[in-house]
Chains A and B, each alone.
Chain A
Amino acid sequence: MSDRPERISAEEVDAVARLAMLALTEDQVERFAHQLADVLDHAADIEALDLDGVEPMARPVRVVNVLRPDEPGPALDRDEVLGQAPAAEDGQFRVPPVLGGAP
């Protein structure tokens, strides 16, 4: 670790983790900040490349709209699927209240 500012701060790591719905410990935030700064330092090689005019490649296969015939076929069994959920009720997934505390 050098004296120069890290490429990603502890505050940024914490904020990004919250966006990803993760609560990191203080120790994790510090450690991840250093480790991710190392990764981003490594990525400086491509940051420096002039790639104007090079098309981005999101996937190796040209994606076309794939449609199947509109015919009913077997689907997953609803009870089997809901049976794997942490909580289910009346044929639906059950979650805690979305707004506010428990009623």
Chain B
Amino acid sequence: MSSRSALPSTPVAPATVLAAAVRSGERTALDVLEEHLARISDHEVDVHAFNLVLEDRARESAAAVDARVAAGGDPGPLAGVPVALKDNLCTRGVATTCSSRILEGWEPPYDATVVQRLAAAGAVVVGKTNLDEFAMGSSTEHSATGPTRNPHDLDRVPGGSSGGSAAAVAAGFAPVALGSDTGGSIRQPAALCGVVGVKPTYGLVSRLGLVAFASSLDQVGPFAATVADAALVCEVVGGHDPGDSTSLPQDFPRVLAHLDDGVEGMRIGLVTEMLGEGIAVDVAARVRAAAEALTAAGAEVEEVSIPAVTYGLSAYYLVAPAEASSNLARYDGVRYGRRVDAPTAGEMMVATRTAGFGDEVKRRIVLGTYALSAGYYDAFYGKALRVRTLIREEFDAAYERLDALISPASPTTAFAFGDKTADPVQMYLNDVCTIPSNLAGHPALSVPFGVGDDGLPVGVQVMAPALGEVAAFRVAAVLESVAPSAGAPS
């Protein structure tokens, strides 16, 4: 591990501390922003977390926050907190590329609901972060703007698809960031970059203005250096949105109020199927150490078998591409983004899509179209939807006795560039522990818990039943308090 090239460690204040300082007038939002912009200016060239850094707009937002404080107002719970946004979240008048050539030059005509809510809470957007094209990938290598590097080891991937957001928080470019998670795209990069990442219950956070990948699985959530910061961002961006027909008619659960509750008396399951074959021995050992820590904190921990989760990967790689093939039909060179001219509309659409999409996106569109085609629909897509029911039913049965489940968030620590790009199945196996929660619609998060044999971060996944965010955050807060090392680069 001495040969690793990591970013120098700099202590970065959590969002909760920064917002309190800005609200009280102890620090200005502009001062907080400049501190983070300086770090971006020093290290972004090595990391490539961002597709776009918004220095000028961020300075205007920060100045507006300071003006409100000076006038005696309260800018809100994220006053002056720099945030990074995954570049598949719409920002009005600001390029939103999904790291795809096909959206080159597009500036959305509206802000995503989560972006509006961050701004209303006083947050300052510092930039749009890199991702695997249209959020399809587990390493951020499938990006038209080039890969993001892991701040803990610049020769390794940050995970994906929200690799830019995870790296931005790990590098101290912003204390918090938003990502999206369709099969693990928040939790897996959070694990590989040593930060906290949360995928809320499906329907708790608005998808309006999140560029759609697989609509029945996609969910927006935060990255943060601390569990409390992640909880704060969840409460700010979550809750009902009339503009999203799948939005649940309720507020985000009050997780902040329960962070100090501990786990005394909680019943927690260690998922057998997520500790054996395919899981690195050192990662599994960290998860067992987490189980021991929870036991020591007063929880009852037992192993539990949930056999259906072993079918999650197969079901996901039929359901998600099927939905993607439909969602990505909209990129036809007519309404937004790039167009490649041709004599007829049909030829123009083929030329535009062929030039605009990268290989992984094309692969998934073909797979999804195939899975939905006559003759294969029942064998593949129809079967996969029934597996979703099976997984949810087995989870629900476990949650009759248990309050939460734990597992690895990722089967390994961060891997090297190029390791898995030639073999899609190997790449897809990165999501084997995270996919079941998406298929079920349940909340799950990743919290750092020490390092593997290579000295790189390991994330423990905490899963809970639908709307069980309070239980997941209580477990995460305890694990954070006893974790062997902090999330900052070593």
* Residue of A with least CB distance to B384: A46
User: Are the C-beta atoms of B344 and A99 separated by less than 8 Å?
Assistant: yes
Cβ proximity bits A33-44 to B, threshold 8 Å, 1 near / 0 not:
001101110111
User: Are the C-beta atoms of B366 and A13 separated by less than 8 Å?
Assistant: yes
In the assembled complex, the Cα of A97 lies from the Cα of B359 at a distance in Å of 29
B357 is contacted by which of A22, A32, A96 (Cβ under 8 Å)?
A22
User: Are the C-beta atoms of A46 and B387 separated by less than 8 Å?
Assistant: yes
Question: B333 on the interface (CB 8 Å rule)?
Answer: yes
Say yes or no: A20-B365 contact (C-beta < 8 A), given A77-B109, A101-B343: yes
Question: A3 on the interface (CB 8 Å rule)?
Answer: no
User: Are the C-beta atoms of A101 and B314 separated by less than 8 Å?
Assistant: no
User: Are the C-beta atoms of B314 and A43 separated by less than 8 Å?
Assistant: yes
Question: Which 9 pairs from chain A and chain B are nearest by CB?
Answer: A60-B441, A56-B385, A86-B339, A57-B388, A59-B216, A51-B386, A60-B202, A43-B314, A54-B386
Question: A45 on the interface (CB 8 Å rule)?
Answer: yes
A-B contact pairs, 17 of them (CB 8 A): A20-B329, A28-B359, A36-B366, A38-B424, A42-B428, A46-B315, A51-B383, A54-B389, A57-B386, A59-B202, A60-B203, A61-B248, A81-B335, A84-B335, A93-B334, A96-B341, A99-B344
User: Are the C-beta atoms of B350 and A32 separated by less than 8 Å?
Assistant: no
Question: B379 on the interface (CB 8 Å rule)?
Answer: yes
In the assembled complex, the Cα of A27 lies from the Cα of B351 at a distance in Å of 17
Question: A70 on the interface (CB 8 Å rule)?
Answer: no
Say yes or no: A19-B369 contact (C-beta < 8 A), given A43-B317, A47-B383, A97-B344: yes
User: Are the C-beta atoms of A21 and B440 separated by less than 8 Å?
Assistant: no
User: Are the C-beta atoms of B389 and A57 separated by less than 8 Å?
Assistant: yes
User: Are the C-beta atoms of B383 and A46 separated by less than 8 Å?
Assistant: yes
In the assembled complex, the Cα of A53 lies from the Cα of B300 at a distance in Å of 35
Question: B13 on the interface (CB 8 Å rule)?
Answer: no
Question: B152 on the interface (CB 8 Å rule)?
Answer: no
User: Are the C-beta atoms of B246 and A63 separated by less than 8 Å?
Assistant: yes
* List of B residues within 8 angstroms of A32 by Cβ: 362-363, 366
Question: B409 on the interface (CB 8 Å rule)?
Answer: no
* List of B residues within 8 angstroms of A19 by Cβ: 369, 373
Residues of A within 8 A of B (CB): 8, 12-13, 16-17, 19-24, 28, 32, 35-36, 38-40, 42-47, 49, 51, 54-61, 63, 66, 68, 76-77, 80-81, 84-87, 93, 95-102
In the assembled complex, the Cα of A65 lies from the Cα of B348 at a distance in Å of 36
* List of B residues within 8 angstroms of A101 by Cβ: 343-344
* List of A residues within 8 angstroms of B351 by Cβ: 23
Say yes or no: A84-B370 contact (C-beta < 8 A), given A56-B382, A56-B389, A60-B202: no
Main secondary structure of the interface of B (DSSP, over half): helix
* Residue of A with least CB distance to B393: A54
User: Are the C-beta atoms of A38 and B389 separated by less than 8 Å?
Assistant: no
Cβ proximity bits B438-463 to A, threshold 8 Å, 1 near / 0 not:
00111000000000000000000000
Known: A32-B366, A60-B203. 8 other contacts (CB 8 A): A20-B369, A21-B350, A42-B428, A45-B310, A46-B318, A66-B245, A81-B109, A96-B348
Question: B415 on the interface (CB 8 Å rule)?
Answer: no
Say yes or no: A61-B441 contact (C-beta < 8 A), given A21-B332, A22-B353, A23-B354: yes
In the assembled complex, the Cα of A44 lies from the Cα of B203 at a distance in Å of 31
In the assembled complex, the Cα of A36 lies from the Cα of B422 at a distance in Å of 12
* List of A residues within 8 angstroms of B357 by Cβ: 22
User: Are the C-beta atoms of B363 and A36 separated by less than 8 Å?
Assistant: yes
- The minimal Cβ–Cβ distance linking B260 to chain A, given in whole angstroms, is 30
Residues of B within 8 A of A (CB): 106-110, 202-203, 215-216, 242, 245-246, 248, 310-311, 313-315, 317-318, 325, 329, 332-339, 341-351, 353-354, 357, 359, 362-363, 365-367, 369-370, 373, 379-380, 382-390, 392, 423-425, 428, 440-442, 466
Max count, chain A CB within 10 A of own CB: residue among B325, B334, B382: B334
B380 is contacted by which of A16, A17, A43, A60 (Cβ under 8 Å)?
A43
* List of A residues within 8 angstroms of B107 by Cβ: 84
User: Are the C-beta atoms of B246 and A51 separated by less than 8 Å?
Assistant: no
In the assembled complex, the Cα of A92 lies from the Cα of B35 at a distance in Å of 46
User: Are the C-beta atoms of B343 and A97 separated by less than 8 Å?
Assistant: yes
* List of A residues within 8 angstroms of B362 by Cβ: 17, 22, 24, 28, 32
User: Are the C-beta atoms of B216 and A95 separated by less than 8 Å?
Assistant: no
User: Are the C-beta atoms of A38 and B423 separated by less than 8 Å?
Assistant: yes
User: Are the C-beta atoms of A84 and B466 separated by less than 8 Å?
Assistant: no
* Residue of B with least CB distance to A13: B366
In the assembled complex, the Cα of A93 lies from the Cα of B341 at a distance in Å of 14
A95 is contacted by which of B345, B363, B365 (Cβ under 8 Å)?
B345
In the assembled complex, the Cα of A40 lies from the Cα of B218 at a distance in Å of 23
Say yes or no: A21-B338 contact (C-beta < 8 A), given A47-B380, A57-B388, A102-B343: no
B106 is contacted by which of A28, A40, A47, A84 (Cβ under 8 Å)?
A84
Say yes or no: A46-B369 contact (C-beta < 8 A), given A86-B337, A95-B348, A100-B344: no
* Residue of B with least CB distance to A97: B344
* List of A residues within 8 angstroms of B341 by Cβ: 96
* List of B residues within 8 angstroms of A21 by Cβ: 329, 332, 346, 349-350, 353
- The minimal Cβ–Cβ distance linking A100 to chain B, given in whole angstroms, is 7
